[in-house]
Amino acid sequence: MRNEKIETLSTVRLQNNPELYKIVDSLNRTLKDDDVMFGLALDEDDDETAIFTIYRT
């Protein structure tokens, strides 16, 4: 098992849109070999807000 450390590079809060996952999926597929990963989550307290995060893997 590899000992990986995931580093958060940037986090942005924005208005939720049901199409945002398509951008995140495309970024992850395109840049998977460049040691970056992208995440998208709903704010726990506000369903209208999405949290987009960029990680270095």
* pLDDT per position as a tens digit, 10-25: 999 999 999 999 999 9
Q: Does 39 map to a domain?
A: yes
Pull the structure tokens for residue 19: 């199409």
Burial (0-12, 13-18, 19+ Cβ within 10 Å), 50: buried
Q: Does 2 map to a domain?
A: no
Residues of the chain with pLDDT > 70, as a percent, come to: 95
Neighbouring CB atoms inside 10 A of 54's CB total 17
Virtual torsion, Cα 46, 48, 54, 57, nearest 10 deg: 60
Question: What is the model's pLDDT at position 4?
Answer: 74
Question: Domain span at residue 49?
Answer: 7-56
Q: Does 27 map to a domain?
A: yes
Structural domains in the chain (count): 1
Q: Does 1 map to a domain?
A: no
The whole-model pTM stands at 0.86
